[in-house]
Structure 1
Amino acid sequence: MALIDPSTSIRSGEELDVKIIDAYLKANIPGLSGNAKISQFPGGASNLTYLVEYPQQEFVLRRPPFGHKAKSAHDMGREYRILNQLNAGFPYCPRAYLHCTDKSVIGAEFYVMERVRGIILRSDIPTGLNFSPEQTNALCRSFIDKLVELHSVDYAACGLASLGKPEGYVRRQIEGWSDRYEKAMTDNAPTWETIKDWLRDKMPADHPKPGLVHNDYRFDNVILDPNNPMQIIGVLDWEMTTIGDPLMDLGNTLAYWIEAGDPPPVQLMRRQPSNAPGMLTRQQFVDYYAERAGIDIRNFDFYYTYGLFRLAGIVQQIYYRFHHGQTQDKRFSQFIHMNKLLEQMSLQVISKSTL
């Protein structure tokens, strides 16, 4: 079994015109020759990601999804800028080559970046890696170390100080995701009213030291070195990156973190090997992050519940597109059930919280 993350055939309705892409790239990237071949990376549920192959070089093309899109989401120019400028302070960003603002080329803005060839962990660790629990534990801690490192980057020195407004970040996220969720509501979606009220009531002050917030930091967004799979060589999907409270970002990451002891319905949502022997539990994850960051985290129930609510907002926005026939991707038909389960998980956290 190949360990390098593979691309596959392009999903129906998400095709690109290879002749148009080939001509555009050759006109804007010096030295390209031969015929282009385009395939699609199957992971992800937001921006679409394609592999563009030439005989001597490979690229990754990113474009927004087809159909309805949240107003502030899928900003190709913003993601392109982040990749170009953050690389100086966080060398795990792929290099971006060009940003196309002419929507007449493929019907939307897009950008092209280098392909970082490596291993991406999806639902399970491939048997070919033969990780022991000790190795898995070390990789998990390295994964957390990279998040701590990102949160400590001097974003002003990278020229990214204007990327976001850290003051009032926590309140804006609660209010913003409440508004986005309501706009993406369908007649079969839960209201989340109890959770939204609790989040507003328990809202803490902003973290005293703001940092870069990735907003989608998961194992399937990091790339492992194929020659040394214990080493992380790349971090992907910077479309939602901003400046804000790093503990909110930690909550985002833990919302995806399904641990071995979670009940079977929750296990069905798992998209990364966070349940593998040797992986940290959510509480151990928080404790190790706090140790490495040199901070004290006492009220993580709020940040975790926020992460679950935000994830439900993302899930519902995607389901909205499917519900209204704006995407043909059958994976999204089940997202309404994921939304309902996330609400139940949040209610359980709140019922046990001492906040």
Structure 2
Amino acid sequence: MSATDQTTSVRQGEELDVQAVDQYLKQHIEELEGTPQVRQFQGGASNLTYLLSYPGKDLVLRRPPFGKKAKSAHDMGREFRILNQLNAGFPYCPKAYVHCTDESVTGCEFYVMEKVEGTILRADIPTELGLDESKTRELCKSFIDKLVELHNVDYVACGLGDLGKPEGYVKRQVEGWIDRYQKAATPDAPGWEPVIAWLREHMPADHPKPGIVHNDYRLDNVILDPNDPMRIIGVLDWELTTLGDPLMELGNTLAYWIEANDPADHQATRLQPSNAPGMLTRQEFADYYAERAGIQIDNLDYYYVFGMFRLAGITQQIYYRYYHGQTSNPRFAGFIVMNKQLEQRSLAVIQQSAL
């Protein structure tokens, strides 16, 4: 399925001032003519993403969500900068054209980037891609290879040495997500107290070789070459990118990785085809990552549990907006169920962990 096929009419309450945006863009991007047709991308649950189709040129606009937002989240200027500078060392970032800081245009900051033509996978692999078990395994390994490649980028050479503070990253992430989760709590949300205590008690030292961490690296955030679906040509959603511990990122990615043998309630939360025949299991994923990165991972349980807690924090922040009527997107109603399932999965891992 192409990225364009995954757009829909703009949701009520999330409209753009098309005339104002069009006028602004024509002042900053050459060769735009006519009035754009605007549609909204279905994927994503944080920043809002729109397709602006001009005659002869498609653009993608990213803006923050409506309603209450975490103080440090949704920094459009930061994401714009990452796309432009990281491309020198990791040429899978879409080109960003303009960052608008004038909130009078459409009520908030936003930026506009190129639309990379290709295929984005969602819950299942389209049959028309013709991926058998062997090719699916090849795609999975390519996905992991790109993650290792990102973690090895010379971020100083890209001018991104000030993007974050690697020292103390693990502790800041753990304590930061505890704080964010508790601030986004609703009366129906689980407390996560045993998991929080375990994360604090078993906190590992920071990785000796920090790197750029995407922080939302999933199969549905990569773009496949339409002529060769085993080839990744783009990576999207750089909103949470920073400098930090690559193994924390590995845990974040594994938190989304629902494998074929997971129970039915886990399968119901699956966002990507990680259960398809040929896809690696979570353990195989981690083992292949370690092999390609040339490292040994002794405490995978910790990173996986943290990834699930962080994912629960993200879903709870989004559910908070839904609970308080700040967004009308009906799919957010089920995020509280996902939160509760993640807590139970985390407790199960802790119970059998050797840490």
SS of residue paired to 1:154: coil
Q: What is the letter of the counterpart of residue 93 of structure 1?
A: C
Tell me if 1:10 matches 2:10: yes
Q: Distance in 1 between matches of 2:4 and 2:174?
A: 35
Counterpart position of 2:278: 278
Q: Distance in 2 between matches of 1:198 and 1:311?
A: 17
Tell me the TM-score normalized by structure 1: 0.99
Counterpart position of 1:304: 304
Q: Distance in 1 between matches of 2:187 and 2:37?
A: 42
Instruction: Summarize the alignment of residues 270-349 of structure 1 with structure 2, pairs less than 5 Å apart.
Output: 270-349=270-349
Q: Distance in 1 between matches of 2:11 and 2:3?
A: 20
Q: What is the letter of the counterpart of residue 139 of structure 1?
A: L
Q: Distance in 1 between matches of 2:74 and 2:17?
A: 21
Q: What is the letter of the counterpart of residue 110 of structure 2?
A: F
Q: What is the letter of the counterpart of residue 322 of structure 1?
A: Y
Q: Distance in 2 between matches of 1:279 and 1:188?
A: 35
2:2 and 2:117 in contact (8 A); partners too? no
Q: Distance in 1 between matches of 2:269 and 2:294?
A: 32
Residues 32 and 66 of structure 1: CA distance in aligned 2, closer, same or farther (over 3 Å): same
2:17 and 2:105 in contact (8 A); partners too? no
Query: Deviation string for 1:44-73 (max 9, x for gaps)?
Result: 100000001111111000000000000000
Deviation, structure 1 residue 22 = 1.0
Q: What is the letter of the counterpart of residue 127 of structure 2?
A: T
Counterpart position of 2:51: 51
Deviation, structure 1 residue 4 = 4.8
Deviation, structure 1 residue 254 = 0.2
Counterpart position of 1:62: 62
Q: What is the letter of the counterpart of residue 244 of structure 1?
A: G
Counterpart position of 1:73: 73
Q: Distance in 1 between matches of 2:49 and 2:113?
A: 11
Tell me if 1:165 matches 2:165: yes
1:3 and 1:126 in contact (8 A); partners too? no
Q: Distance in 1 between matches of 2:199 and 2:317?
A: 20
Query: Deviation string for 1:287-337 (max 9, x for gaps)?
Result: 000000000011100000000000000000000000000001111111111
Aligned pairs, number: 354
Uncovered stretches (5+) of structure 1, i.e. residues with no partner: none
Q: What is the letter of the counterpart of residue 124 of structure 1?
A: D
Deviation, structure 1 residue 75 = 0.2
Q: Distance in 2 between matches of 1:31 and 1:135?
A: 40
Counterpart position of 1:132: 132
Query: Deviation string for 1:225-261 (max 9, x for gaps)?
Result: 1011111000000000000000000000000000000
Instruction: Summarize the alignment of residues 81-96 of structure 1 with structure 2, pairs less than 5 Å apart.
Output: 81-96=81-96
Q: Distance in 1 between matches of 2:40 and 2:177?
A: 30
Deviation, structure 1 residue 180 = 0.3
Counterpart position of 1:266: 266
Q: What is the letter of the counterpart of residue 269 of structure 2?
A: M
1:5 and 1:118 in contact (8 A); partners too? no
Q: Distance in 1 between matches of 2:320 and 2:40?
A: 23
Counterpart position of 2:233: 233
Counterpart position of 1:174: 174
* Paired-residue identity, %: 70
Deviation, structure 1 residue 222 = 0.1
SS of residue paired to 2:310: helix
Residues 166 and 4 of structure 1: CA distance in aligned 2, closer, same or farther (over 3 Å): closer
Deviation, structure 1 residue 101 = 0.4
Q: Distance in 1 between matches of 2:315 and 2:144?
A: 24
Residues 144 and 224 of structure 1: CA distance in aligned 2, closer, same or farther (over 3 Å): same
Query: Deviation string for 1:150-187 (max 9, x for gaps)?
Result: 00000000000100000000000010000000100001
SS of residue paired to 1:190: coil
Q: What is the letter of the counterpart of residue 71 of structure 1?
A: K
Q: Distance in 2 between matches of 1:17 and 1:42?
A: 19
Tell me if 1:31 matches 2:31: yes
Counterpart position of 1:196: 196
Q: What is the letter of the counterpart of residue 115 of structure 2?
A: R
Q: Distance in 2 between matches of 1:102 and 1:316?
A: 30
Q: What is the letter of the counterpart of residue 326 of structure 1?
A: Q
Deviation, structure 1 residue 27 = 1.1
Q: Distance in 1 between matches of 2:32 and 2:312?
A: 42
Q: Distance in 2 between matches of 1:114 and 1:5?
A: 13
Deviation, structure 1 residue 5 = 4.3
Uncovered stretches (5+) of structure 2, i.e. residues with no partner: none
1:41 and 1:51 in contact (8 A); partners too? yes
Q: Distance in 2 between matches of 1:113 and 1:78?
A: 14
Counterpart position of 1:354: 354
